[in-house]
């Protein structure tokens, strides 16, 4: 498992999300089978973010319509979807209130989530929820903190998208 784990994490940390999704589909299909899972959601968000980072805005819009649109109606994903889409509203998104998504730490969040899911597939693990629970809690705390910080920087207002 470890020899498969490191390449997948490296791909995510390098922003190579298509390759990571492909490898995960080959090595751990159960992780990416449910296209509306938190793991798939984060991977699709990261792919969108990488397209914005590369300046491929038209491709990002198309990708968002295909992959992120299905998450708009799910309340647990709503804030992050809005933040991702908001990246398109700025000429210099890295300097915006949602610029945190373009930081390396966002790739780490996604890699950590995928790591937790990979660990949960270990047949020798007695309680797979224990490793998932702590990583999911950490992820949600980080995402919540980012959203709260963003709002506080914007005088407690929702991010205007214009």
Q: 110, 129, 122, 120: which is closest to 46 by C-alpha?
A: 110
Residue 85 CA to residue 45 CA, distance in Å, equals 9
Three-state SS at 28: coil
Residue 61 CA to residue 141 CA, distance in Å, equals 28
Amino acid 78: pLDDT: 85
| Segment 69-116, tens digit of pLDDT | 888 888 888 889 999 999 999 999 999 999 999 999 999 989 988 888
| Segment 14-34, tens digit of pLDDT | 999 999 999 999 988 888 888
Residue 27 CA to residue 66 CA, distance in Å, equals 24
Is the model's pLDDT at 130 over the cut of 70? no
Over the chain, what is the mean pLDDT? 82
Q: Could you tell me how many residues make up the chain?
A: 162
Q: What one-character DSSP code corresponds to residue 124?
A: T
Angle of the 78-86 helix axis to the 38-53 helix axis, nearest 10: 10
Contact between residue 56 and residue 88 where contact means Cβ atoms under 8 Å apart: no
Amino acid 1: pLDDT: 44
Three-state SS at 126: coil
Confidence of residue 52 (pLDDT cuts 50, 70, 90): very high
Give pTM, 2 decimals: 0.74
Contact between residue 9 and residue 115 where contact means Cβ atoms under 8 Å apart: yes
Q: Mean pLDDT over residues 47-64, rounded? A: 96
């Amino acid at each position: 498992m470890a020899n498969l784990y490191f390449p997948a994490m490296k791909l995510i940390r390098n922003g190579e999300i298509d390759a990571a999704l492909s490898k995960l589909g080959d090595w751990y299909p159960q992780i990416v089978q449910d296209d509306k899972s938190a793991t798939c959601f984060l991977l699709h968000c990261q792919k969108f973010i990488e397209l914005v980072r590369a300046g491929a805005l038209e491709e990002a819009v198309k990708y968002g319509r295909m992959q992120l649109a299905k998450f708009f109606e799910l309340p647990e994903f709503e804030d992050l979807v809005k933040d991702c889409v908001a990246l398109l509203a700025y000429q210099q998104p890295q300097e915006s209130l949602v610029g945190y998504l373009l930081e390396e730490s966002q790739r780490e969040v996604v890699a950590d989530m995928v790591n937790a899911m990979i660990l949960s597939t270990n047949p020798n693990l007695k309680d797979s929820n224990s490793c998932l629970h702590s990583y999911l809690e950490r992820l949600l705390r980080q995402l919540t903190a980012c959203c709260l910080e963003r709002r506080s920087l914007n005088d407690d207002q929702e991010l205007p998208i214009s």
